Amino acid sequence: MEYNFFIDKRTEGLLYLNFPANDKEFQTRRSSNNGRSWHDIKFLNHNNSESSQSVQFKFHLHDAKAVPNHFEMIDIQYQDHVTALTPFITFDGGHSWKVAAKTKSNIILLNHGSVLLSVDKDTNSINYSFDEATTWLSYKLFSNNPKVLYIGRLSNNDLKAVIVSRDSTTKKIKFTTLDFSRIFNLDCNMSHYREWYLPTSNGFCYKGLKIKMRTRHSNILCMDKLVNHIKTIEKCSCVPDDFGCTFRYKPNADICVPDDVSIKKPDPKKCAGEPNEVIHLPG
């Protein structure tokens, strides 16, 4: 089922909505204050330059299990095309989204936040990235363009993935295991992390709090084993836009005013003609 509204349950106040751009197209916008204000999303190319493209996320393709739970600043959404999916990945809580290599499967993030992995659109190769989707590498793994049935992490504590595919000729099911552990033989230490503030609709402050994150430098091949990537939560000055309006009220500048549309009472409906059935009441 396709729908045009998405609630990010991992981040308070974060919503996405597909707004009509014209008679035929929609454009995804973002709110970080529970829908009080909506903003255009910043989309990035592979080299981190800003893109001017208009994107509509297909929220029904979102996979909540694609990213480990303790990487709450990372998420993956998709734009659907006829022959493949175009993934977009955020590493800053939805403020900016980076385009990834087209795929026939969903993208997964392996444990320790080190490897992004997907199956290429021709399904014979896998695509993987070690540097937050800036550089993508490809490796031919299959032949005969198999149908990808599943891709996921093999467990919750290693760098292994499993791909389930069906051969296009023999129709046989194949389980393929990938192991990236030999590439990452170093645990991250504090010098391997960078610190940054989580962006919101009004800069970095939301409801009087500013969150400082700590994440791995993307160019360092180490295993990020931090369970909590929030370093500090600092106090800051809140603004009226941080707080939504109650039911039947709408925002107007710094205050909430009655919503004239929602408070109108509908006219009572009248029955047309006589009923055809006889209703028997007890007693």
Span 74-107, pLDDT tens digits: 999 999 887 889 999 999 999 999 999 889 889 9
| pLDDT tens digits for range 197-255 | 998 877 888 888 899 999 999 999 999 999 999 999 999 887 777 776 776 777 776 67
pLDDT in the model for residue 107: 95
The DSSP secondary structure of 46-112, one letter per residue, reads: TTSPEE-------GGG--TTSS-TT-TT-EEEEEE-SS-EEEEEESSTTSEEEE---BSS--EE-GG
pLDDT in the model for residue 17: 94
- Rounded CA-CA distance 10/73 in Å is 9
Average pLDDT for the chain: 86
| pLDDT tens digits for range 160-172 | 999 999 998 999 9
Q: Please give the share of the chain, as a percent, with pLDDT higher than 90.
A: 55
What is the pTM for the complete model shown?
0.82
pLDDT in the model for residue 261: 61
pLDDT in the model for residue 275: 46
pLDDT in the model for residue 283: 39
pLDDT in the model for residue 278: 43
